[in-house]
Amino acid sequence: MNFDLTDEQKSIRDMVRNFTRDVITPKAEEIDRENRFPEEHIPKMAELGLLGIAYPEEDGGVGADAISEAIAVEEITYGCAATGSILTAHYLGIDGLYLASNKEQREKYLVPGCQGEKLFAFCLTEPNGGTDVASMKTTAKLDGDNYVINGSKIFITNGAYADTLVVYAKTDTSKGSRGISAFIVEKGTPGLSFGAGDDKMGIRGAKTDEVIFENCVIPKENLVGEEGQGFKIAMQVVDRGRIGIAAMAIGLSQAAVDEAVNYSKEREAFGKTISNFQGLQWMLAEMETDLAVGRLYTYYVASLKDKEGFRLSKEASIAKLFTAEASNRVVNKAVQVHGGYGYMKEYTVERLYRDQRILEIFEGTSQVQKMVISSYLLK
């Protein structure tokens, strides 16, 4: 087992790191303050191949491995967690097509998505059914050569800004999760509309929307896979997507560690910089330990994503659970290192503190991850 990054992975890391420092980081505070979607970042990330970095070249992607994708998400999130969330949400959308679409759908939708010409959204969560996917109320009824979709989704990242939405709806309400199917819905389709954008605590630039379907008619060829396969597709997408959330947690934790270390070297108390005090040194050591362990396991699970046929539900949940909760500890300590200044908006750790909290909630709460992990132990 080789724990070293390859030359290609290092090259991608350096490219995205430089891009983040030059383009993403300088806008992060403004994006958060103005609660705006950073549309200017999308074409720039597309130029670097980031919107399809780990997808095959024949599908419009770069053809890099999943570790490279995790590194890219980590580096983008380091500079702006909202932009990192936009990127991972795009992957969730195109991943369903990558796993289950036919040749025509790949050419029409997946290729432009991987090339960054189209931004994607993943439409699964509903007002009364986040974790309980089988309880979804959105329906898709076949009517001749079309499906008619009715219902609504909430907390959909990229929702109103996406060119292509991958929507999960029930084609048979009597079958529970086995009656769920996946569909492609294009922006501008009659019957598709959006509610008011959410006003969130953190990752504010990663705009989330209510997505509303009122007799939304789409051609039947926009069915992804077969009827009844939607739940299986969605769960595979979520498993793989949890690696992206773990990578976000690593990037955010690294930012918090760096802010805390730099501040400790500058802030003086009792005649010397606070980095000289053992109590603070131990806090920094604990932060770095959480970060290092989380990064290594996240890269390991990312490597499993490239193994054909490998089901990584347990491993992805472990990565997501540990890194999300570790990032809470890391950012909390970073604020503490800053003392009263850590509570002020002029310091980056205040934003990191707010951005971090969602990592323990979306793509399955920490409690859901524990349910998944324990289910494998108790088989």
The contacts of residue 216 (CB under 8 Å, 6+ apart) are: 148, 149, 150, 185, 189, 190, 191, 192
What distance in Å separates the CA atoms of residue 166 and residue 186, rounded to the nearest whole number?
9
- Is 314 in contact with 235 (CB distance < 8 Å)? no
What distance in Å separates the CA atoms of residue 194 and residue 208, rounded to the nearest whole number?
10
Crossing angle between the packed helical segments 81-100 and 25-34, to the nearest 10 degrees: 90
* Distance in angstroms between the alpha carbons of the first and the last residue of the chain: 28
Q: Could you tell me whether strands 139-143 and 146-157 are parallel, antiparallel, or unpaired per DSSP bridges?
A: antiparallel
What distance in Å separates the CA atoms of residue 213 and residue 88, rounded to the nearest whole number?
24
Buried b (16+ CB within 10 A) or exposed e, 259-270: bbeebbeeeeee
What distance in Å separates the CA atoms of residue 241 and residue 243, rounded to the nearest whole number?
5
Q: How many helices (H) and strands (E) does the chain have?
A: 12, 10
What distance in Å separates the CA atoms of residue 355 and residue 358, rounded to the nearest whole number?
7
Give catalytic residues, as residue numbers.
Answer: 363
- Is 86 in contact with 96 (CB distance < 8 Å)? no
What distance in Å separates the CA atoms of residue 75 and residue 80, rounded to the nearest whole number?
9
Instruction: Name residue, tokens 């969730």.
Output: 92
Token code pair at residue 195: 């509610």
